[in-house]
Structure 1
Amino acid sequence: MIVMHSIVLHGKGSSPSKVEWLSVPLKRFGTVEVPNFDYDVEQGLEIVLKTDFQLIAGHSRGGTVALLAGARRGVPVIAVSAPTDRLLQLEHLSKFPEDSEQGKLYRYLSSFPREKLLETSPIAHASSLRNILLIHGEGDDVVPIIHSERLCDKVREAGNSCEIVKLNMRHSPPKHLYGEIENVIVNWVNSLCKKGVLSCST
């Protein structure tokens, strides 16, 4: 049997150790690679697409890259708290004080041309996303939950599969939700294994 290989991408200013809640559940099904990933979306996508993987997952900006890579490769994607429309995200971040975390992200995003932000928005590639799991906090004030809701609607409109799980959290999962997130991920991957979408070793 082919062992499933997954890639897990952390967000901006994060690290592999901070997304173990996302990588550990996937280790039940095969090998998992969690690289240090301090790249912009476009550069990160180029790097990821040079590797082989059967599933890709990511948190925050890592989720954006994961969705773009999944659209390009046609593989399943798990994205947590991910900006799916970077122009919508720019508008959201513009409302915060300059010295806030959101204000700093606004300055960063606004350094890119609008057409580049549109091109690197997963929602622009929704019809190429086939099997995706979106996890988002209802209280996320960094990336509003509407990002996941709108993308899921678009994926379903294209006739593909999207599952969205809304949790009582902000942008990053608190420890008391790790078990619930693990169950969601394991059940979702198991369903894809049973359908033959993935080859899994458990």
Structure 2
Amino acid sequence: MQRIEYGPDPSQFGELTWPPGAPRGVVVVVHGGFWKAAYDLALGRPLAADLADRDWVVWNVEYRRVGNGGGAPQTLQDLTAALERLRDPELDLDLSTVVGLGHSAGGHLATWAGGGGVLTQVISQAGVLDLESAHRDRLGDGAVEAFLGHPPGPADAAYDPIALAPLDIPVWCVHGRADDVVPLSQSEEYVDRVQAAGGRAELVVVEGDHDAVIDTGSAAWDRTVSILDLVG
């Protein structure tokens, strides 16, 4: 594992893990935690280790969060910069397959970043994909308002995945049936919006709660791995 900075702030770095075998592609892991500084990329390390063992190069990304200089637009700027860092010739990465894998708020960020031209697929794990409905439902105890700095409105469409749907790349929405932190409706409504607009999105409902999808010993995680097998 190699720590690589993509900016001057202490939170602007990622951990790049190389596999033991020939790389199948790159997975960009974006951790969740409702964009709050209390949570960091340690959440993504078990995923990174598991995926590297499966011959993926893994870029586990940290970013500025609410409470340490983050929020909109800073957090989104960080995701853009972290993805652009992968283009560095010194890293010598094959970017023909770059999958964004984000959990919860990380699912929001990975899906949002899917329009930036680096990612070739997105897997949202229990992602917050509709900021307005997430705000109405008070997800994360008002996390959306804290992230935006105000209640969401039409001017925030550029930050909201459902408003940006469909992307030009496929999106898989993996979501636990028993999730009581981010409701399944977040993924259902996003997929419905994408499909109605002629885009490519698939809802993958798994058994388990909010964190089952990032438990590398769970059947829910196995479903995510099976999606990666399709693309790499």
Further displaced range: 32-41 or 174-183 = 174-183
* Match of residue 40 from structure 2: 15
SS in 2 for 1:144: coil
Further displaced range: 5-14 or 146-155 = 5-14
TM-score with structure 1 length normalisation?
Answer: 0.76
* Match of residue 19 from structure 2: none
* Match of residue 212 from structure 2: 173
Tell me, yes or no, if the aligned pair for 1:93 and 1:105 is still in contact at 8 Å: yes
For 1:177 and 1:5, locate their aligned partners in 2 and report how far apart those are by CA, in whole Å: 18
For 1:57 and 1:173, locate their aligned partners in 2 and report how far apart those are by CA, in whole Å: 15
Q: Aligned-pair RMSD on alpha carbons?
A: 2.8
For 2:55 and 2:198, locate their aligned partners in 1 and report how far apart those are by CA, in whole Å: 27
* Match of residue 109 from structure 2: 65
Tell me, yes or no, if the aligned pair for 2:32 and 2:104 is still in contact at 8 Å: yes
User: Which one of 40, 51, 58 corresponds to residue 32 of structure 1?
Assistant: 58
For 1:175 and 1:142, locate their aligned partners in 2 and report how far apart those are by CA, in whole Å: 14
* Match of residue 87 from structure 1: 132
Indicate how the Cα distance of structure 1 residues 179 and 170 shifts in structure 2: closer, same or farther if over 3 A, else same: closer
For 2:216 and 2:25, locate their aligned partners in 1 and report how far apart those are by CA, in whole Å: 25
Map Cα deviations across residues 46-71 of structure 1 (whole Å, 9 max, x no partner).
12222236111111111101001012
SS in 2 for 1:183: helix
More helix by share: 1
* Match of residue 4 from structure 1: 25
Further displaced range: 67-76 or 112-121 = 112-121
For 1:129 and 1:25, locate their aligned partners in 2 and report how far apart those are by CA, in whole Å: 28
Amino acid at match of 1:108: A
* Match of residue 46 from structure 1: 77
* Shift, 1:19, TM fit: 3.0
- Structure 1 stretches of at least 4 aligned residues deviating more than 6 Å after TM superposition: 174-177
Q: Which sections of structure 1, spanning at least 5 residues, go unmatched?
A: 95-101, 194-202
For 1:122 and 1:57, locate their aligned partners in 2 and report how far apart those are by CA, in whole Å: 15
* Shift, 1:20, TM fit: 4.0
Query: Relative CO higher for 1 or 2, CA cutoff 8 Å, sep ≥ 6?
Result: 1
* Match of residue 105 from structure 1: 143
TM-score with structure 2 length normalisation?
Answer: 0.68
For 1:176 and 1:2, locate their aligned partners in 2 and report how far apart those are by CA, in whole Å: 23
Further displaced range: 61-70 or 133-142 = 133-142
